[in-house]
Amino acid sequence: MEISLIRHGRSKWVQNDWITSKQFENWVTRYNDHGVYAEETYPVETQKKLETANMVYTSDLYRSRESAKLLISTVDIVSDSLFREVELPTLSGIFSKVRLQPRGWTVLMRCLWVAGFSSGCESFSDAKSRAKLAAEKLVRSAGKSQSVVLVGHGFFNILIAKELLQMGWTGVKRPASKHWQITTYTK
């Protein structure tokens, strides 16, 4: 049995201006709502795994669903909010005047989130619990289908991979973080 995790394609939303935390909230919404760039070619290993997969899942976010369709249009895809990327907290007050580029806000918010700050979003603890449920769903599906692929998101794929390893699956500790890259876990 095998479970493969793919990170979605590169988002079409590429604005990199210096923005406030409130503007960053809008940036995240746009990032989620825009599609991904189609590539001239995709990684061969990613394509091969999708062609042989008996089940393909995505999150319900547009960039995940569109990425799966760009990679393989001949397979039925099941979208599920269980596989959504973890959200980022929101800031207000003294941070309302601070300006960072979106990448800076993402790193700062993710660090705060891992440290326990979850204003306006799912907590780190809750995300880990959701990742366990997601991993269990993938394992059940692999038990029936033998080969399952998830076209998901960078950080949530990391949480799922950790759960798979704890369940006795074999694979690398940290899944590929580049867009379109695949990491496979076996049992």
pLDDT at position 82:
98
pLDDT at position 74:
77
| Cα–Cα dist 87/29, whole Å | 11
Tokens found for residue 77: 């895809």
Which secondary-structure segment (H or E) carries 129? helix 124-145
| Cα–Cα dist 101/140, whole Å | 41
| Cα–Cα dist 143/36, whole Å | 31
152: pLDDT strictly greater than 90: yes
179: pLDDT strictly greater than 90: yes
Tokens found for residue 126: 């809750």
pLDDT at position 97:
86
Across 25-53, b (16+ Cβ under 10 Å) vs e yields: bebbeebbeebbeeeeebbebbeebbeeb
Domain chopping of the chain, boundaries: 2-186
pLDDT digits (tens, 9 = 90+) for 81-130: 999 999 999 888 777 889 999 999 999 999 999 999 999 999 999 999 99
The fold for domain 2-186 equals Rossmann fold (3.40.50)
pLDDT at position 12:
93
pLDDT at position 45:
95
pLDDT digits (tens, 9 = 90+) for 38-95: 999 999 999 999 999 999 999 999 999 999 999 987 778 999 999 999 999 988 877 7
pLDDT at position 75:
77
Q: How confident is the model at residue 132 (pLDDT cuts 50, 70, 90)?
A: very high
pLDDT at position 175:
96
CA 103 vs CA 13, 19, 23, 178, 180: distances in Å: 13, 11, 13, 15, 20
| pTM score | 0.94
Mean pLDDT of the chain: 94
What percent of the chain is predicted at pLDDT more than 70? 100
pLDDT at position 94:
78
pLDDT digits (tens, 9 = 90+) for 4-22: 999 999 999 988 899 999 9
Helix or strand or coil: residue 31? helix
Task: Tell which residue, 160, 23, 149, has the closest CA to residue 82.
Answer: 160
Centroid of chain to Cα 147: 19
